[in-house]
Amino acid sequence: MTETMLISIAAILALGIGAQWIAWRLRLPSILLLLLAGFAAGPVLGWLHPDKLLGDLLMPLVSISVGLILFEGGLTLKFSELKAIGSVVRNLVTVGALVTWAITILAAKLCFGWTWGLCTLLGAVLVVTGPTVIMPLLRHIQPVRPVASTLKWEGILIDPVGAMLALLVFEVLLSQSGHSVWEIALMGFGRMIGIGMLLGVGTGLLLAFFFQRYWVPDYLQNPVALMAVVGAFALSNHWQDESGLLTTTVIGITLANQKWVHIRHIVEFKENLRVLLISGLFILLSARLNLDTVRHLSPLAGFAFLMVLMLIARPASVFLSALGSTLKFKERAFLSWMAPRGIVAASVASIFAVRLAENGYPNALEIVPVTFMVIVGTVAIYGLTAGHVAVKMELSKPNPQGVLFVGCSPLVRKMALSLQSEGFPVLLADTNRENVAAARLEGLPVYFGNILSDDSRDGLELMGVGKLLGMTSNHEVNTLAGLHLMDIFGRSNIYQVQVHAETDRKSKAEGHGRLVFAKNILLRDLNGLLESGAVMRRTRLSAEFGFEQWKEKHGAGTIPLFLITETGTLRLFTLSNPPLPVPGQTILALGQPEAAKPAPAT
């Protein structure tokens, strides 16, 4: 028995992480592959039996895991983002949620013929969108800031709202207290919001207070934060069922917006934990599906129900919520095409369907396969099309190849202008007013501020930008900038110039960004070239004039910096694994201008 449990746990981990990796390689929504892997391992092949494996621990573990996922999401929410989109977010989680709920109830009644009670519960469950799906999609698509911020805030805040609605419907369906529906709803909402806000804000401020006074050593801050979140979640649910999700979300928001302590290390820890939790949860929940229940559902009814949610409920919710806002029509249209459901819908549906079935409600268990059908459908359709839709609407750029330059020196401006003339987006970040003013006069977009601050992550407009290049004279600043934004760009897209001769040796030992240009070329050498009159030179290679001929002609006095492939991909010349230019590609280099040709004799 013990060996069987060990094998099952190992299988969950292998399937979850394996599906995540394959999804990354294939550029597919990871949750889609997680659901398919769990469904195959559970009801199809019969290898995995979550209820036998974990027994009564399954649902509590699912609830705590979802609470931790929402806490991690709350850590990414900054109030500064709400200046432009606050009213839209507020409307989406109130008016928009009610519109979605009402349309979903009617659609469920027409498509499945259930009782009004079950339809109302399903509508509450499907009010939520999925931050576990939306956040990876946003990192991949990189839409304009108002759209990205709106989707992020809505996806995280709507989850506890949906869970609370589902609980209230459940209590009404099973209520024998004699209270009216409105009394139950008002009392339930009041308790949930009161407990969630008070316990959430209190726990967040208490953690910040302890960390600010160094009462918790660095190596214990992540475990203590984890302990506090789980404890607050359990206490909140003890006082009011299903209020824990709101509590953990508020803890994250409170920590994200306080100014006393830095929480970046906590965010990084929770991001890693989130990947493990999502991987395990989707495998476990999809493995619990019952094939008989799935077969009982009509495919035509399921498809019609999905189309109502996507083509009627979501657009109605968005356009009503955006009335009077500054969002453009294209932005509203894209928001209408981004409402994938995720782990919260799956977990809430699983919990309440079982409870209703235990209380004798017919067809209650059918809520689970319908919910999973909606999750698979929305994740597949939105995940595979949202990027193309954003590009067509000019709200995003596919495969971002632009460069964020850390530094705004004359050398950086020269490089940025060269890339900009080739059609690549650029953004320069600096704290020097003179450099920033000079860049703006030259028509270059600039971020004026400290790129190492937490505020910079919200202030950088990175549409079309997919690489970071540290170009300041401070090696540590270049390195820290890469570490600070690594979760946005990925390790392979972080570059930095060599400032000191020993930088190459240090980078191998300390894991800095990829060093650029040439082995013995330092930043001072590049600046020296520029001061001596060097310019950016563009050369398109051909079969007759390849890279070897280019090197013979220009010699060591010209430094190749960037390579543009025939497909429009931008590559940097690096010390390790440098690109190998071929005919048809374009080299951007820094070198002396060609000698002027003598005027023809007259």
Q: Identify the pLDDT of residue 492.
A: 86
Comparing 20 with 398, the larger pLDDT belongs to 20
- Whether residue 503 is predicted with pLDDT greater than 70 in this model: the reply is no
**Per-chain mean pLDDT for the chain:** 85
- Whether residue 596 is predicted with pLDDT greater than 50 in this model: the reply is no
Comparing 172 with 11, the larger pLDDT belongs to 11
Q: Is the separation of the CB atoms in 200 and 251 below 8 Å?
A: yes
Residue 452 confidence class, pLDDT cut points 50, 70, 90: confident
Rounded CA separation 163/281 (Å): 17
Tokens of 599: 């005027």
Rounded CA separation 560/574 (Å): 10
Q: Vertex 159, ends 156 and 162: CA angle to 5°?
A: 150
Burial 107-146 (b: 16+ CB within 10 A, else e): bbbebbebeebbbbbbbbbbbbbbbbbbbbbbebbbbbbb
% of the chain with per-residue pLDDT over 70:
93
The tens digit of pLDDT for each residue in 14-72 reads 998 998 889 878 877 787 888 889 888 888 888 888 888 888 888 888 888 888 888 88
Q: Identify the pLDDT of residue 599.
A: 44
Check residue 379 and report its DSSP letter.
H
3-state secondary structure 493-517: HEEECCCCCCHHHHHHHHCCCEEEC
| 103-112, 283-292, 386-395, range with the lowest pLDDT | 283-292
Which domains are present in the chain? Answer: 2-184+262-392 (1.20.1530.20), 402-591 (3.40.50.720)
Rounded CA separation 461/364 (Å): 47
- Who contacts 423 (Cβ-Cβ below 8 Å, separation ≥6)? 568
Q: Identify the pLDDT of residue 398.
A: 67
The tens digit of pLDDT for each residue in 289-341 reads 777 767 777 889 999 999 999 999 999 999 999 998 889 999 999 999 999 88
Tokens of 28: 């597919």
Tokens of 105: 């109830």
Helix or strand or coil: residue 374?
Answer: helix
Short-list 165, 179, 48, CA closest to 100: 165
Q: What is the mean pLDDT of residues 443-458?
A: 81
Rounded CA separation 468/486 (Å): 9
Helix or strand or coil: residue 404?
Answer: strand
The tens digit of pLDDT for each residue in 68-106 reads 888 888 888 888 778 888 899 999 999 999 999 999 999
- Whether residue 602 is predicted with pLDDT greater than 50 in this model: the reply is no
Tokens of 540: 């398109």
Place of tokens 């949750």: 31
- Cα 413 to the center of its chain, rounded Å: 31
Q: Vertex 334, ends 329 and 340: CA angle to 5°?
A: 150
Q: What is the mean pLDDT of residues 191-217?
A: 91
Q: Alpha-carbon Rg of the chain, whole angstroms?
A: 27
% of the chain with per-residue pLDDT over 90:
33
- Whether residue 122 is predicted with pLDDT greater than 50 in this model: the reply is yes
Q: Identify the pLDDT of residue 497.
A: 92
Q: Identify the pLDDT of residue 509.
A: 42
Helical (H) or strand (E) element with 207:
helix 181-212
Place of tokens 């270059």: 444
Q: pTM for this structure?
A: 0.74
Q: Is the separation of the CB atoms in 434 and 441 below 8 Å?
A: no
Own/partner long-range contacts of 318-327 (Cβ < 8 Å, ≥24 apart): 318/92, 318/96, 320/91, 320/95, 320/96, 320/99, 321/88, 321/91, 321/92, 321/95, 321/96, 322/88, 322/91, 323/91, 324/87, 325/85, 325/87, 325/88, 326/84, 326/146, 327/85, 327/88, 327/146, 327/150
Short-list 273, 190, 180, 172, CA closest to 226: 273
Q: What is the mean pLDDT of residues 201-228?
A: 90
Q: Is the separation of the CB atoms in 37 and 195 below 8 Å?
A: no
Helix or strand or coil: residue 583?
Answer: coil
| 49-58, 285-294, 484-493, 569-578, range with the lowest pLDDT | 285-294
- Who contacts 259 (Cβ-Cβ below 8 Å, separation ≥6)? none
